[in-house]
């Protein structure tokens, strides 16, 4: 539990490396089969990356750099190989699970993807159906008799669990390829993460591939995926994001790569600075492809202002006359929590479009935002596919819960800085999923209201 009282902000905020970019880069390193030097926002010792990035790193390290050489062409695998490496813990990262499933399906070996807490309840039906459509074997361990499958794998010698640390996670998905390439249809309406995994995997398939994509919900994340692939010497083209052409038998080439700072985490401090004081926030790239860079558009619509400084620093200034605004968050659903924190302090009505993208996050994020903000006196309602916020004075003076959702914890913390009475937030630990040092950075730049 943490209590946040009214305060103002001033100083400099250091952001973690971008989660969405880091996991894609780790997947590319994995497919390159060689070590790569990471620069930019990536910490030198890797200790301050968030839990989701750590989960992707565990997957990469568990399988090892020999994946490309041995698993895709299993006849080259030496006898007596340690098959326990094929149990992979994705932690709570839906991106790691959904992206690495098609990548691991390049192999003719069976891999088991495991997960913890909130990940166990996240939708994976489209992953299973998608891989089956591509000719792979894929089963959910949430619906199959887990113990009988495990025993069968032990008997066949394909899977020998030896790592006691895996007891912290639960088996979720079994995948087996090989993914050979070809022409397929993909529904990306629920999430683009599986499509990103396919785009990264198919360049290593035997055949060229064509993906006909329906209902793409998150185009910016696909742009980010294609950009990372290009950085590693792999190409794929598309016809207005509806048809993707991926040549097969390509090679990922290891190289130095700069990892950006995280716009998702930065959005909270950008909102905070707009409301409560001036901040320098970085490192953030002006030409970033991250979807949540759209927070600047939202701030502008509300009447906020910012300027680019040196060394990838964004200067955000306090604005005294913020007004309600309309914003489409369909392509950047992770912005909903900080946008609500902004809207409750803006005069007038704010309408945020795209709540259908919030129902299968770490929480039912639409309902969680409505209920938790209502506890502290905010006037919020759901209308169709919109969240409508009547802004003004936020009373505060109540206890709230993060609902196991890191982004709700950060949103409530920023909003509390302008509440009339202190707000208690249960679940402060959840921020480690995406921004481990959030509370440290917030305390560093917060000054008590005089």
> Could you tell me the pLDDT band of residue 36, with boundaries at 50, 70 and 90?
confident
What local confidence, expressed as pLDDT, does residue 357 receive? 80
369 vs 339: CA distance, rounded Å: 11
- Kindly report the pTM of this predicted structure: 0.86
pLDDT tens-place string over residues 106-122: 988 888 888 887 787 78
Taking Cα atoms as reference points, which of 135, 143, 263, 268 lies closest to residue 205?
135
What local confidence, expressed as pLDDT, does residue 80 receive? 33
367 CB-near residues (< 8 Å, 6+ apart): none
Domain ranges of the chain: 2-16+261-448, 19-259
First to last CA, the chain: 24
The answer, yes or no, to whether residue 60 has pLDDT greater than 50, is yes
Query: Would you say the CATH fold of 19-259 matches that of 2-16+261-448?
Result: yes
CATH homologous superfamily of 19-259: Enolpyruvate transferase domain (3.65.10.10)
The answer, yes or no, to whether residue 2 has pLDDT greater than 60, is yes
The answer, yes or no, to whether residue 84 has pLDDT greater than 80, is no
Question: What's the mean pLDDT in 54-66?
Answer: 79
The residue that leads in pLDDT, 386 or 187, is 386
Architecture of domain 2-16+261-448: Alpha-beta prism (3.65)
DSSP secondary structure, 200-252, as one string? HHGGGSSS-EEEEEES---HHHHHHHHHHHHHTT---EEETTTEEEE-SS---
Instruction: Pull the structure tokens for residue 194.
Output: 């599986």
Q: Which residue has the tokens 């294609």?
A: 226
347 vs 418: CA distance, rounded Å: 13
* Cα 363 versus chain centre, distance: 14
The answer, yes or no, to whether residue 306 has pLDDT greater than 90, is yes
> Could you tell me the pLDDT band of residue 281, with boundaries at 50, 70 and 90?
very high
């Amino acid at each position: 539990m943490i209590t946040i009282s009214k305060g103002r902000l001033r100083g400099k905020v250091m952001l973690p490396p971008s989660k969405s970019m880091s996991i894609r880069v780790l997947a590319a390193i994995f497919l390159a089969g060689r070590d790569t030097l990471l620069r930019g926002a990536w910490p030198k010792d890797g200790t301050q990356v968030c839990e989701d990035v750590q989960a992707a790193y565990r997957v990469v390290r568990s399988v090892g750099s020999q994946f490309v050489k041995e698993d895709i062409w299993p006849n080259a695998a030496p006898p007596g190989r340690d098959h326990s490496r094929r149990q992979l813990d994705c932690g709570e990262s839906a991106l790691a699970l959904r992206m690495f499933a098609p990548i691991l399906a390049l192999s003719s070996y069976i891999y088991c993807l495991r997960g913890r807490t909130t990940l166990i309840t996240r939708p994976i039906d489209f992953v299973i159906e998608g891989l089956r459509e591509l000719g792979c074997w894929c089963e959910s361990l949430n619906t199959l008799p887990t113990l009988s499958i495990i025993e069968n794998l032990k008997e066949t010698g394909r899977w020998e669990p030896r790592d006691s640390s895996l007891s912290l996670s639960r088996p979720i998905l079994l995948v087996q390829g090989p993914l050979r390439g070809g022409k397929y249809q993909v529904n990306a309406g629920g999430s683009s993460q599986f499509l990103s995994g396919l785009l990264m995997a198919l360049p290593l398939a035997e055949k060229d591939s064509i993906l006909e994509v329906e209902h793409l919900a998150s185009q910016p994340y696909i742009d980010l995926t294609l950009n990372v692939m290009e950085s590693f010497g792999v190409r794929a083209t598309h016809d207005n994001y509806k048809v993707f052409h991926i040549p097969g038998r390509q090679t990922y080439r290891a190289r130095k790569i700069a990892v950006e700072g995280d716009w998702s985490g930065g959005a909270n401090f950008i909102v905070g600075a707009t409301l409560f004081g001036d901040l320098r926030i970085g490192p953030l790239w002006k030409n970033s492809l991250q979807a949540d860079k759209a927070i600047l558009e939202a701030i502008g619509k509300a009447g906020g202002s910012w300027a680019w400084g040196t060394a990838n620093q964004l200067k955000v200034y306090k604005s005294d006359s913020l007004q309600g605004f309309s914003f489409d968050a369909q392509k950047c659903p992770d912005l909903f929590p900080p946008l609500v924190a902004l809207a409750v302090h803006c005069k007038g009505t704010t309408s945020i479009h795209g709540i259908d993208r919030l129902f299968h996050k770490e929480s039912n994020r639409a309902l969680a935002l409505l209920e938790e903000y209502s506890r502290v006196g905010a006037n919020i309602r759901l209308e169709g596919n919109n969240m409508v916020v009547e802004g003004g004075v936020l009373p505060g003076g109540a206890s709230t819960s993060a609902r196991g959702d890191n982004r709700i914890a950060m949103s409530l913390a920023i909003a509390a800085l302008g509440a009339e009475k202190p707000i208690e937030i249960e679940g402060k630990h959840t921020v480690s999923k995406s921004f481990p040092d959030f509370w440290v950075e917030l305390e560093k730049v917060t000054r008590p209201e005089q």
